[in-house]
Amino acid sequence: MNKNIAVIKGDGIGPEIVTEAMKVLDKTAEKFGHSFAYEQLLMGGCSIDVNGVPLTDETIEKAKAADAVLMGSIGGNTSTSPWYKLPADKRPEAGLLKLRKSLGLFANLRPAVLYSQLRGACPLKEEISAKGFDMMIMRELTGGLYFGARKTEEVDGVMTAVDTLSYNENEIRRIAVRAFDIAMKRRKKVISVDKANVLDSSRLWRKIVNEVAESYPEVTVEHMLVDNCAMQLVKDPAQFDVILTENMFGDILSDEASMITGSIGMLASASLNETKFGLYEPSGGSAPDIAGQNKANPIATILSAAMMLRYSFDMDKEADAIENAVSAVLNEGYRTGDIMSEGMKLVSCSEMGTLIAERV
């Protein structure tokens, strides 16, 4: 198959980790007789430097025209980078939010799996980590607080800022359907996370999730308050199969889930629209402190590329080959700095990419 992939390397460690993912994709294409053509696009800080804005309309059109988008990470140090002197809607993150919205990427899949080889890197007590865990966080990505009206103004002489958390039933229904569909292919359990003891948007969320659940009699559904979920993730992560939640809760909980896998450098993600189209990026940020040092962990990006093959291109065995290659390299004891432990072999970002590509 021939596929056109739009590539947004982005800022910080983005270029390093995406280069390794492309190395692995090229090896996969060669092995399975496919051809992947890449078009590199600018987004985030690097686009501000060249175009004055974090995302141009031309970039959006090119991304839309591709079969899928592979992304690294965007943004810089929020205290020191000149990008953060710009108005909020001109900063790197605004480009990412606009891209998600323009491409209709409402369903964000973030799988958090504890690799048995990395149990030592899990910060939880051994009696908890010994049980392992394998969860899929389904985060709503184009609604809620991220996209509601916001303003900062003086009210009666007092500076006041407002952000709006709004969801309509259609937005909730379509993400819930995705979550139940995915649960059917997994362990058939959805835990929907909300704050229904306080928020109207959460009460509607719960109602619609229950309605959707009626069409999936085989799937068990449970509702959990977000503060309790934050607690349960470190107390008993094995209980989770699919976590279904709104945008902001999903942002926070997915960072927490990634940390208990040992490192945020292990967490892949897929952002999908109504069709097979998707944007694939590691869940972690641009890590400006280690950028350009060939130290970053490219595994989350490589696993995101595997998700691209699986979800957008229907290339299941190719995706399996990449995931197995990652497992093999970990079995052989190779580690980047973030997941390093005693007795293991420390490798650079590019060495890790090469090792995985060789094992595809």
Q: Which residues are catalytic?
A: 146, 195, 227, 251, 255
Among Mg ion, ligand IPM, none, the one that 96 touches (CB under a kind-dependent 5 to 8 A) is ligand IPM
**Shortest Å, Cβ 19 to Mg ion:** 23
**Cβ closer to ligand IPM: 47 or 283?**
283
* Interaction between residue 246 and Mg ion (CB under 5 A): no
**Closest distance of CB 98 from ligand IPM, Å:** 11
Task: List Cβ neighbours of 73 (8 Å cut-off, separation of 6 or more).
Answer: 10, 11, 12, 13, 14, 17, 44, 281, 282, 284, 285, 286, 287
Minimum gap (Å) between residue 8 Cβ and ligand IPM? 13
3 state SS of 267 = coil
Cα angle 240, 242, 243; round to 5: 85
Q: Which of 20, 67, 93, 140 lies at the binding interface for ligand IPM (CB under 6 A)?
A: 93
State which of positions 279-318 bind Mg ion (CB under 5 A): none
Q: Does 96 bind ligand IPM (CB under 6 A)?
A: yes
| CA-to-CA separations, 144 to 5, 37, 270, in angstroms, rounded | 29, 35, 19
User: Residue 154 is which amino acid?
Assistant: E
End-to-end alpha carbon distance in the chain: 18
Instruction: Quote the least distance from Cβ 258 to Mg ion, whole Å.
Output: 9
Q: Tell whether residue 251 is a contact of ligand IPM (CB under 6 A).
A: yes
Q: Give per-residue burial for 81-100: e unless 16+ CB within 10 Å, then b.
A: bebbebeeeebbbbbbbbbb
Q: Does 194 bind Mg ion (CB under 5 A)?
A: no
Residues that bind ligand IPM in the complex, under the rule CB under 6 A: 75, 93, 96, 251, 283
Residues that bind Mg ion in the complex, under the rule CB under 5 A: 251
